[in-house]
Structure 1
Amino acid sequence: MWKTFKWFAPREVVLYSLYLSRFLKLPGVSADESDVFARYYRNNFWSDPESLSGKGSSISATGRLREKLISLLKERGIKSMLDIPCGDYNWMKLVQKPGLRYLGADIVKEMVEKNNREYKNNFTEFSVINITKGQLPKVDLILTRDCFVHFSYEAITKAVSEIKKSESKYFLTTSYPNWRKNFNIRTGLWRPVNLSKTPFNFPEPIETILEESEENWGVFKDKSLNLYSVKDLPSLP
């Protein structure tokens, strides 16, 4: 079976999704997005000693990303930024943001409250926002890292619609360019997404940050952050 479907879903994706699926079927876990991700947070589901957002948010995993993001912020003249979902702010706190007004947003209320207690200042604050429902502020840059990989097609469509409504300038988001075919999941599970492929059909990115990810034994080294102009984002069906 693995050989037959290798082109479509590597073993790591299938096993990981099955693992998450079992968690989502536990008593007391509703289909509500905030409940799903709050459970991950409260139970330290990713079992990472450094970050409650998982290994992908560790300092070691984001070295190249931080370096490239700092350059992007400077070169594009970014003065305001919405980071959604911001998670526990573990790696982002090391990104030099002089003069940048930063808003970190997440669906998990407890995490937002903790972030505000520890990191809030004149230029940095955190708020509870559901990217598929809430009104997003107009900013120079919306960063959505490791978000759509956990979303169903319906949730991604709603999120992109909200991003377009914000009339922000740039959108920076995760994509896997080597992933040949997208497939749908229940929100809360995980799989790679290639935003250039159906059903998303995003335009060519203005700029790409290759993260050189070592997660999952380096299977997904193509993991990237693609930069788009919000006005050029497609209207998804």
Structure 2
Amino acid sequence: MLMRELKGVFNPKVSIVIPVFNGSDFLSQAIESALAQTYCNFEVLVVNDGSDDSEETEHIALSYGDSIRYYRKANGGVASALNLAIENMSGEYFSWLSHDDLYVSNKVERQIEVLSSMPPEYLHRTIIYSDYSVFTNNPDKSIPMMMNGVAPEEFRYWLTIKNVLHGCTLLIPKAAFQEIGKFNETLRTTQDYDLWFRMAKKYLFVHMPECLVKARCHPEQGSIKMSRVAKGECNTLLSDFVADLTPDELLHASRQKTAVAYAQIAASMWYRGFSRAGCSATLLSFKHFPHSSFSANTSAFKIITKSLAMYYMIKPFRKFIPPHLRLLIRKWLEYKKTQSLTSPEFLRNMELKEKFSKIYEENIFRGRASRSGEGADLEQTRIIRQEIPKLIRKFGIKTFLDAPCGDWYWMKEVELSVGQYIGVDIVEDIIAKNQYTFGTSQISFQCLNLTEDELPKSDLIFSRDCLVHLSFSDALKILANFKRSGAKYLLTTTFTDRAENEDLGDGFWRPLNKQRPPFNFPEPICLINEGCTECDNLYVDKSLGLWLLQDINLP
């Protein structure tokens, strides 16, 4: 059985830390969201950083009595408040909650579940982070901020060019502070990013594609009230980040020549208004021109000049927009960009690798739990997670090929009694992350193009929700490749009530009945109805059908 031994017994104590300064408006909501956690083994520490609001903040904190641990200190900034909590926490894991933000009720529970699935050798050297959502007044109308999680070895590069990580989504082992150090108290607004960057040298940052924190945006929050300080600190900090990135990190994460990689970093800095960091990255790009090809230098030069032009065009208008409004505009533009990427026109002319990499990176399927979409959450897979192990036992499956495997969100919950599981996918980042997080001697992942690459031999190929995203031409190529692989069985998605199949056309999904043209499969050996409830029960016929590959005759 391929279940993790730690699962079910891994129950570390988690310390939820809430630093606060003059936070009477929102503190009670934050505390309530912390106390409402579905995970049982936790404590809540509230640190009052010298509030001067006539003891209103203190009165709110004290009203919770023994359900929290309360500390009051002289004002020294959020870093000093967090450090005091770290020194006094009794938990094995640290979870920060800003006094104006909210946790969803299963934030800690879900992160502990992910940790429990880690290989034992990585368990205590892993830091979990997740997606989050942003709201102004009503948390029920928050805008999701879905991140393209990256392999741990690419995290420092990603943190440098994206700068979108929310500190309250993290779950950090206390040992990390003991080894790396605590928050830098000389930094007023960037103490979190400074520490994450330092920790990433020794610890693995693993992304969870779930919104577990609701971040409030309002004019009184520290990053807005101290926007000038924040911008200066960010410029210095990001300049240091750029200088500290190693050549191997740049090459692996950007997949570009060094000159182009630094140019891309420079563009990220210029677009975000960090001129000092932009200059640092630009100079480093130019420094590598003598060692790069003419085409690489040309690409780098174009990237830099375009970003510089945009910076100086936008700069005169920035001072007329209040900081909190700039933040909201940026979040809204990021959200609208993601929404526009869901259009079929955007994906129509892409090669398969580029298409599905973009779908994963931008979470185009808008899955809250999995980037494979809502159909890959634990509710929509409830029945098949029970039925697949039964089928494996009934047909004596020893080698299980999952094609495509996706981000392995729900499959990790399946009790697969097989000798070898092999997950394949066309998206390199998925495979790298899965192999790093879940790989063992019995579980492995490979990056392959199902239409053309030679597939590992297996007893059964499992292909759920794959062909529905492809043209007839590509779908038939994959089926032909499945037959060439030498596998005995194919377990794949079919919509049994559909009278006819349509080609993909301008869309990127439609239901397919494998017993209708152009596939013309015979009657399946067995059929598992998934109990699909998506789109108000529009696809109740969605099923997994099992066929002998030798019985499938392709046109």
TM-score of the pair, normalised by structure 2: 0.38
- Which one of the candidate residues 354, 374, 378 is aligned to 1:59? 378
Counterpart of 2:425 in structure 1 is 106
Matched, 1:23 2:343: yes
Contact residue 345 and residue 506 of structure 2 kept, 8 A: no
- What whole-Å deviation, never above 9, does each CA across 1:143-168 have from its counterpart, x for those lacking one? 00001101101001101110111111
Structure 2 residue 442 is the aligned partner of structure 1 residue 123: yes
1:221 and 1:141 map into 2 onto residues whose CA distance is 25
Pair 1:213-2:519 in alignment:
no
CA contact (8 A) 2:403 2:462 kept: yes
**What are structure 1's unaligned runs of at least 5 residues?**
1-18
Equivalent position of 1:80 in the other structure: 399
Match of 1:50 in 2: 369
Tell me, in whole angstroms, the C-alpha distance in 2 between the residues paired with 1:225 and 1:183. 19
- Equivalent of 1:159 in 470, 478, 489: 478
Amino acid at match of 2:510: R
Mapped pair 1:150 → 2:469 = yes
Q: Does 2:453 correspond to 1:134?
A: yes
Instruction: State the AA in 1 paired with 2:343.
Output: F
Question: After superposition, what is the alpha-carbon deviation per residue over 1:27-65, rounded to whole angstroms, capped at 9, x for unaligned?
Answer: x98520011111110001122221111111101111101
Q: Deviations over 1:93-140 (max 9, x none)?
A: 111123430000001110110001110001001111111111112210
In structure 2, how many angstroms separate the alpha carbons of the residues matched to 1:183 and 1:197?
Answer: 10
Report the number of matched residues.
217
The structural deviation recorded for 1:24 is 4.1
One-letter code of the match for 1:37? F
5 Å-filtered alignment, 1:36-47, equals 36-47=355-366
Say which structure is richer in helix.
2
Q: Name the structure 1 match of 2:520.
A: 201
Whether the 8 Å contact between 2:400 and 2:418 is mirrored in structure 1 is no
What percent identity do the matched residue pairs reach? 35
AA aligned to 1:83 is D
Task: Give the CA RMSD over aligned residues.
Answer: 1.9
Q: Which residue of 1 aligns with 2:501?
A: 182
Asked whether the 8 Å contact 1:20–1:188 carries over to 2, the reply is no
Greater Cα shift, 112-121 or 92-101: 92-101
Distance 2:485 2:421 in 1: 16
Report if aligned partners of 2:469, 2:508 keep a CA contact under 8 Å in 1.
yes
In 2, distance between residues paired with 1:110 and 1:30?
21
Query: What's the secondary structure of 1:68's corresponding residue?
Result: helix
**What is the rounded CA distance, in whole Å, between the counterparts of 2:477 and 2:523 in structure 1?**
21
Paired residue secondary structure (1:78): coil
Bigger Cα Rg: 2
SS in 1 for 2:528: strand
Question: Contact 1:152–1:187 (CA<8 Å) still a contact in 2?
Answer: no
Mapped partners of 2:505, 2:427: distance in 1: 18
Residues 172, 188 of structure 1: alpha-carbon distance in 2 compared, 3 angstrom cutoff: farther
Runs in 1 of length 4+ with deviation above 3 angstroms?
19-22
1:235 shift after superposition: 2.1
Mapped to 2, the partners of 1:101 and 1:157 lie a distance apart of: 27
* Higher RCO, 1 vs 2 (CA within 8 Å, ≥6 residues apart): 1
| Structure 2 Cα separation of the partners of residues 225 and 116 of structure 1 | 26
The structural deviation recorded for 1:195 is 0.7
How far, CA to CA, are the matches of 1:143 and 1:74 in structure 2?
15
Tell me, in whole angstroms, the C-alpha distance in 2 between the residues paired with 1:208 and 1:131: 24
CA 1:80–1:156: 2 relative to 1, 3 Å = same
SS at match of 2:354: helix
Deviation string 1:179-232 (CA, Å, 9 cap, x unpaired) is: 111111149710000011111110110011110101111100110000000111
Match of 1:25, SS state, is helix
| Contact kept? 2:341, 2:364, Cα under 8 Å | no
